Amino acid sequence: MTAGRPAPDVLDLIRERFRTLPDRTAVAVGGQSLTYRQLDIETKALADRLAAVGVAPGRLVLIHRRQGVRTVVGMLAALRLGAAWCVLEPDRPAAMVRALLRDSGCAVLVYDDGDPATPPAAVRELTAGCGQPVTAVAESGPAPAPAVAAGRSDAVVPPTAPAYAVTTSGTTGEPKAVLVSRGALAHLVASRAEDPAATTFTASRLSWDAPLLMLFHTLCGGGTAVLPDERALPDPEAAAALIRRHRVEVAVGPPSFHLLVLPHLAGADVHLRQWIVGGEALSAAQAERHRAALPGTRLVNEYGATETTVTVLAQPVTPASLDPVPIGRSTPGNRIHLLDERLAPVGPGRTGELYVAGPQVAEGYAGRPADTALRFLPDPFATTPGARMYRTGDLASADPTGALVFRGRADGQLKVRGVRVEREAVEAALERHPAVRQAAVLAVTGPDGATALAACWLPADPAAPAPDTAELLAHCTALLGGQARPERFVRVAGFPLAPSGKTDLQALRALLAEDPGEPGGRDEPAEADGAPQLVTRYWTEVLGHGDFGPDDDFFAVGGNSHRIVELHLRLEGRWPGAVRVGRLFDLRTVAEQAAAVASEAVAPEAATREPVAPAAGPPTGGARPDAAYEV
């Protein structure tokens, strides 16, 4: 790519491949594929049909179908008309689809009328309810008259014309459509260093921007682009089979998916030269697992946002990489700023908010000028008038080599008992335990009503004995300290994936809500109603789990001063006056507390009295971790 010159338009490059490589496979999605000649014919035919119903340069075409080769045909057909595409699968909420149609000024919705997921009546209802005229075009419908459509495709448009729109929920959960120009897409393709004729694989839906990282680079260079279809998308084994069948050379997938597919790729490094991860934090532990499974496959960590055309930072991962693995340095032509609240650059080694400037900054949010103005700001460091930069909301700092390290979200830090905690740092620490393959940490409401951390974890070896909660707590405490450690651990059989290929945190949150924790402690006493049994039950309620024994230290299995108060209220309700709250900092096991309440309890008739509130003032006993008396 020559400095100062616009990158070639992607459609011009792909048309050249139509001419020079007609018989090579251009795209394979699941079990279907098209050669470059077939792709030329199919996209031209659909472009003619779309032109006949009024699609013109600058308009948007919604591809509303399940993932397959026809999805790619629809994307290129829109480009041939100078229009933009947007892909949304039929499983997306109707409200999201209507919001996109309303905000984007969509002209045409293309759907598969042979798919039960998109019956014509439902599509007509969808387009009629969006508040503006939208033409629905069935893929198997009649072709337009040749005289009407002749000469309409392969329109010449400026680089500023929109190429595609991608829906993103952002931090508010309200769907927005990011508009990306043809010039930004062309720059992304030109900035890639990979072999353009390679066979590539992307583990994501085409409704997200991740597949664009290599899809157009591959088509522009005459390679073969491989993607999973609707059935293979959530299946790591099916994805691995595609990688082997097509002898894929470059693969792209977020860390969550990469970790799931690794066990199924042994030996694939004979042809798989590179795996690119991005979209989530990559831990050094996961990088080590990659080297063990695929020693001949280069691992690259990349960073970007939908609003900056997929990726703007890259970093090869080596055994010497830090933890977390750096997100790297700017890709050619893009400019990265780390700024403070006054938009001034931060000093060396300091953490600042990450801003992106340069040719890959998107046009903004369709139909949302206020949101656009909030995130796309004038670039005070540019020499070109009118240049803009995108405010990512991510925090980063430069390591000693100059590579950037992700430090969490500016608006996404968790505050746990007054201490700010980075969720990604907790996950990375837990994944350093040899028995843990993958972890995801969520903020939940603890038994005492305060914010707490819950960790879902996937075992490295499902057949091996699992570490108990006390062991995981001790491991996290050693690395993170008491405040940042999770207070609840839930072992999972697998991590659910969102359509983007990242971990589906909402699904994990639902799993946590369904899993109340283990009903009782290890080695529970036999007495059905005795003091040890009841104290064990109260510990389980307060801690949110039952993975402890009668001689385990309360603070070692997740207890803290708040939970001591909760525990005392329960003990006081059953054995009023038997033990003061301060003594519980010295009586720290089930056995000790059960013996105390059994020997010091007042007369049985006193058990009917109302519970006594905990005494004010500091607890007795020496100072120890987590022993600050807080209410």
Residue 480 domain-assigned (yes or no): yes
Q: Are 536 and 586 contained in the same domain?
A: yes
Which pTM does this prediction carry?
Answer: 0.70
**CB-based contact 565:616 (threshold 8 Å):** no
Residue 543 domain-assigned? yes
Does residue 598 lie within any of the structural domains? Answer: yes
Whether 179 is covered by a domain: the verdict is: no
Helix (H, G, I), strand (E, B) or coil at 28: strand
Is the distance from CB of 367 to CB of 102 less than 8 angstroms? Answer: yes
Please indicate, yes or no, whether residues 534 and 630 belong to a single structural domain of this protein: yes
Of the candidates 158, 127, 205, 193, the one whose C-alpha atom is nearest the C-alpha of residue 58 is 158
Shared-domain flag, residues 506 and 531: no
Q: Rounded distance, CA 548 to CA 554, Å?
A: 9
Task: Supply the CATH number for residue 617's domain.
Answer: 1.10.1200.10
Is residue 112 in some structural domain?
Answer: no
Q: What is the mean pLDDT of residues 375-399?
A: 93
Judge if 421 and 510 occupy the same domain.
yes
pLDDT, tens digit, for every residue of 604-623? 433 333 333 333 333 323 32
556 & 588 share domain: yes
CATH number of the domain where residue 503 is located: 3.30.300.30
Task: Describe the strand order of the beta sheet including 451-459 as a list of residue ranges.
Answer: 436-445, 451-459, 488-491
Q: How would you classify residue 438: left for phi > 0, otherwise alpha for psi between -120 and 50, otherwise beta?
A: beta
pLDDT interval class at 283 (50, 70, 90): confident
The residue to which tokens 């990512």 are assigned: 392
**Given pLDDT bands bounded at 50, 70 and 90, which one contains residue 156?**
confident
Q: Where is the domain boundary, 495, 514, 533?
A: 514
Domain hosting 462: range is: 414-514
The answer to whether residues 524 and 530 touch, using CB atoms and an 8 Å cutoff, is: no
Do 523 and 631 share a domain, yes or no? yes
Q: What is the DSSP string of 258-301?
A: HHHHGGG-TTGGGT--EEEEESS---HHHHHHHHHH-TTSEEEE
Give whole-number Cα distances, 478 to 386, 439, 467, 578, in Å: 50, 17, 16, 35
Query: What residues are paired with 521 via a beta bridge?
Result: none
For the chain, what is the domain count?
A: 2
Least confidently predicted of 217-226, 247-256, 449-458, 484-493: 449-458
3-state secondary structure of 234: coil
Check whether residue 558 and residue 466 sit in a common domain.
Answer: no
Spatial distance between the Cα atoms of 307 and 394, rounded to a whole number of angstroms = 13
Contact 529, 557 (CB under 8 A): no
Q: Would you state the pLDDT for residue 19? A: 97
Is the CB of residue 294 less than 8 Å from the CB of residue 268?
yes
Q: Grade residue 370 by pLDDT with cuts at 50, 70 and 90.
A: very high
Q: Based on the fold, state whether residues 575 and 596 are members of the same structural domain.
A: yes
Indicate the helix (H) or strand (E) that contains 430. helix 423-431
Percent of the chain with pLDDT over 70: 83
Q: Which of 134, 147, 182 is nearest to 48 (CA)?
A: 147
- Asked whether residue 587 falls in the same domain as residue 496, the answer is no
- The pLDDT score that the predictor gives to residue 449 is 52
Q: Classify residue 500: in a domain, yes or no.
A: yes
Q: Which of 462, 479, 514 is the last residue of a domain?
A: 514
523, 626: one domain: yes
pLDDT bin (cut points 50, 70, 90) of residue 253 is very high
- The mean pLDDT value for 221-237 works out to 89
Q: Are residues 483 and 532 in the same domain?
A: no
- In a shared domain, residues 453 and 561: no
Instruction: Tell me if 565 is assigned to some domain.
Output: yes
What pLDDT shows up at residue 141? 67
**Of 497, 514, 531, which residue is a domain's last?**
514
Residue 24 lies in a domain: no
175 pLDDT band, cuts 50/70/90, is low
